[in-house]
Amino acid sequence: MGIDFSRIADRYDESRGGSERGQRFAAELAPHLPPGLLLEVGVGTGVVAAAMRQPVIGVDIAAGMLKSARQRLGARVVRSDGRGLPFRDGCFSGGYAVWVLHLVEDQAGLFSEVRRVLAPGGTFVIVNINRPAPDDLDAILKPMYVELLGDRDGRDLPERLAPLAEAAGLQVKDVLAGEPFRREVSGPEEADRIERREGAIFWDLDQDRWRELVEPVLGRLRAFGDRPVAREHHHQLLVLERRSR
């Protein structure tokens, strides 16, 4: 159904913002979710669910990530890949998924299951991955990512997800711009992050493709020098509502 992040569970929070990221996304999600029990698809280490001000049950395919989530959420986590959510029909008032849908192979199947476990009128919010605004580093990085992603590029964008959601019985309620995330980073720092293979896109990349596509980019990033670039990353919220029928 998706990619198992267990292999980087021990450093996931450190590389992706940890509790601060969880609090930021919880604050963005809260205004769009109804009171009651929530479902988080792709709960990961539990940072978002732990920051929510209402009860959340989280599912994830990665046993290593769930180990961290249990430390934050106790027994309110379940291992599931989303193709058969282990919950009764209509038991959640709402739910959400943060940085998940780009990894899900069967998006239509997931939407069908989400629709089934939502109460009529329930809301489900999707936060897509952060995408950088054009800048000097993006000019170096973007061609590599486009080549590596191929037809997977942009598969979590609202315009791609909306027809699948609608077909499953989830109507689009809103599409919103999220709060931009800003950070300063130098070319060598970005190169180091890639060399650590922090992004899942690099995990199973064979050495020939690494030499062809990645190593030239690493060289250009290091040649860029230590001048920090103020990078601004953007994401969107796709707000869905389960139809009453």
User: How does pLDDT run across 175-186, given as a tens digit for each residue?
Assistant: 999 999 999 999
Is residue 215 in some structural domain? Answer: no
Is residue 202 in some structural domain? Answer: no
* Cα gap 10→28, rounded to integer Å: 26
Res 21: pLDDT: 87
Is residue 35 in some structural domain? Answer: yes
The single-letter DSSP state of residue 112 is H
Q: From the CB of residue 110, how many other CB atoms can be counted at a distance below 10 Å?
A: 25
pLDDT band at 14; cut points 50, 70, 90:
low
Is residue 30 in some structural domain? Answer: yes
3-class secondary structure for 13-52? HHHHCHHHHHHHHHHHHHHHCCCCCEEEECCCCCHHHHHC
> Is the pLDDT score of 20 beyond 90?
no
Is residue 199 in some structural domain? Answer: no
Domain boundaries, position 42? 5-132+151-181+233-242
> Is the pLDDT score of 16 beyond 90?
no
The single-letter DSSP state of residue 129 is P
Is residue 40 in some structural domain? Answer: yes
pLDDT band at 152; cut points 50, 70, 90:
confident
Number of domains in the chain: 1
pTM to 2 decimals?
0.92
**pLDDT (tens digit per residue) in 186-200:** 999 999 999 999 888
* CATH assignment at residue 13: 3.40.50.150
The single-letter DSSP state of residue 74 is T
> Is the pLDDT score of 12 beyond 60?
no
* Cα gap 40→25, rounded to integer Å: 12
**pLDDT (tens digit per residue) in 109-121:** 999 999 999 999 9
Res 13: pLDDT: 60
Res 75: pLDDT: 93
> Is the pLDDT score of 18 beyond 80?
no
Is residue 228 in some structural domain? Answer: no
96 φ, ψ (degrees, to nearest 5): -165, 165
Res 150: pLDDT: 87
Is residue 111 in some structural domain? Answer: yes
